């Protein structure tokens, strides 16, 4: 399972929007932190996504992404305008297409083409209706439908997709999503004809019987992961900071930081969003297991900083930071809730470095007339 959290300014300690996500993937699918600069394209250009090609736009925004190494899209990321998106796998009653755009492709396309959360949402909706969602999300061939949170410094949305159908919830205060459908009732926005389709397909009896989370949910019951994470956000309302969000993603009691042989938390992200362009901070681990990782801050502009080449990788490079970190923490991975003195020493050192980074970043962003942020004051680590 994955988890994506959002807290609007009315629920955070300093009135700024805070977003975060844990990405759970197979251990074999290492994640890289990649930067793609703003680009201009000729008319009638095409962009090759993970499985299909679609028309390219004339200009794309600069983006920073956390990507499974072989996929064109991303599990999570941010753009230069302060828009962030995180994706989740969900199961629905609708058939799954063999080919289409991946949920992760929608993440990157929304970030590259949307200057606000609403623009990014409209991009995702338009592309879903034109090309549908489909194709393998894992190298093993696993496929699924998608849910995502799309946010900027002023607003946030959840979109959940069942086949080519979609429904949207406008987030009012705070919210979390995981690997199950969560939008109740008829949502705030939805694709025209969705309720009639559900009636004709036999998912519900009539208009009054329609409840998206019930009507479109897979017949296989799923654990209610969202209930636990929503309780965490509720208990910390008005006290949420980037540092607290990081700790929520290290939680083991609710399985948010995932330690399993089949899949693990392969990367994490926390964003502190600011209305002024250039002052949002995006923290990425770029490594597996949030509890054993260090969040590192990124800020636009990123040009001139050390990042991985902007491309899809056919294989894994043993020199990647992700791989070196995984080898280093191997003795600490098992039984995360059991006492381990060596692990405790390691975690204490990592948290000390992280807290020092948080303090330094807070000092930088508190200064007036520091727009955009001087990227040299921040830490950029994608390669060793």
Give bridge partners of residue 24 from the DSSP assignment: 265
Q: How far apart are CA 44 and CA 36, in angstroms?
A: 21
| Strand boundaries in 274-334, DSSP class E | 281-284, 296-298
Burial bucket for residue 247 (CB in 10 Å: 0-12, 13-18, 19+): middle
Q: How far apart are CA 100 and CA 121, in angstroms?
A: 18
| Torsion, Cα of 281, 233, 251, 217 (10° steps) | -100
- Is residue 2 part of the annotated active site? The answer reads yes
Q: How far apart are CA 105 and CA 51, in angstroms?
A: 9
Cα angle 8-374-84, degrees, rounded to a multiple of 5? 30
Sheet with 296-298, strands from edge to edge, namely 174-177, 3-7, 17-26, 263-273, 281-284, 296-298
| Torsion, Cα of 181, 114, 141, 202 (10° steps) | 40
CA-closest candidate to residue 153, choices 326, 383, 368, 365: 365
The bridge status of strand 63-68 relative to strand 31-36 is: antiparallel
Tokens linked to 49:
């996504």
- Whether the Cβ atoms of residue 160 and residue 181 lie closer than 8 Å to each other: yes
Of 2, 49, 257, 291, catalytic: 2
Which amino acids are annotated catalytic? 2
């Amino acid at each position: 399972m994955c988890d994506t959290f959002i807290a609007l300014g009315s629920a955070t300690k300093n009135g700024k929007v805070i977003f975060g996500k844990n990405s759970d993937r197979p251990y074999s699918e290492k994640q890289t932190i990649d930067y793609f600069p703003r680009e201009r394209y000729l008319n009638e250009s095409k962009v090759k996504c993970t499985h299909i090609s679609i028309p390219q736009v004339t200009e794309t925004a600069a983006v920073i992404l956390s990507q499974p190494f072989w996929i064109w899209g991303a599990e999570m990321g941010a753009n230069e305008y302060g828009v962030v998106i995180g994706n989740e796998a969900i199961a629905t009653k609708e058939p799954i297409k063999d080919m289409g755009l991946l949920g992760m492709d929608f993440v990157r396309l929304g970030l590259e083409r949307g200057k606000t959360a609403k623009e990014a949402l409209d991009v995702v909706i338009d592309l879903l209706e034109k090309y549908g969602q489909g194709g393998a999300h894992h190298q093993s061939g696993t496929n699924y439908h998608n849910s995502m949170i799309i946010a900027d410094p002023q607003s946030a949305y959840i979109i959940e997709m069942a086949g080519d159908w979609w429904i949207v919830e406008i987030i009012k205060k705070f919210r979390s999503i995981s690997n199950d459908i969560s939008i109740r009732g008829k949502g705030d926005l939805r694709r025209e004809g969705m309720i009639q389709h559900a009636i004709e397909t036999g998912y519900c009896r009539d208009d009054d019987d329609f409840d998206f989370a019930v009507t479109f949910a897979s017949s296989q019951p799923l654990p209610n992961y969202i209930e636990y994470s929503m309780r965490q956000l509720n208990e910390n309302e008005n006290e949420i900071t980037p540092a607290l969000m990081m700790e929520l993603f290290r939680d083991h009691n609710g399985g948010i930081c995932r330690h399993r042989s089949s899949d693990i938390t392969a990367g994490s992200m926390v964003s502190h969003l600011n209305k002024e362009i250039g002052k949002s901070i995006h923290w990425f681990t770029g490594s597996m297991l949030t509890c054993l990782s260090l969040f590192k801050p990124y800020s636009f502009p990123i040009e001139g900083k050390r990042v991985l080449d902007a491309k899809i990788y056919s294989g894994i490079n043993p020199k990647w930071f992700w791989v070196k970190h995984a080898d280093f923490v191997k003795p600490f991975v098992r039984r995360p809730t059991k006492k381990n003195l060596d692990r405790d020493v390691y975690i204490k050192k990592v948290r000390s470095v992280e807290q020092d980074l948080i303090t330094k970043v807070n000092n930088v962003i508190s200064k007036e007339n520091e727009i955009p942020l001087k990227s040299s004051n921040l830490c950029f680590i994608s390669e060793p």
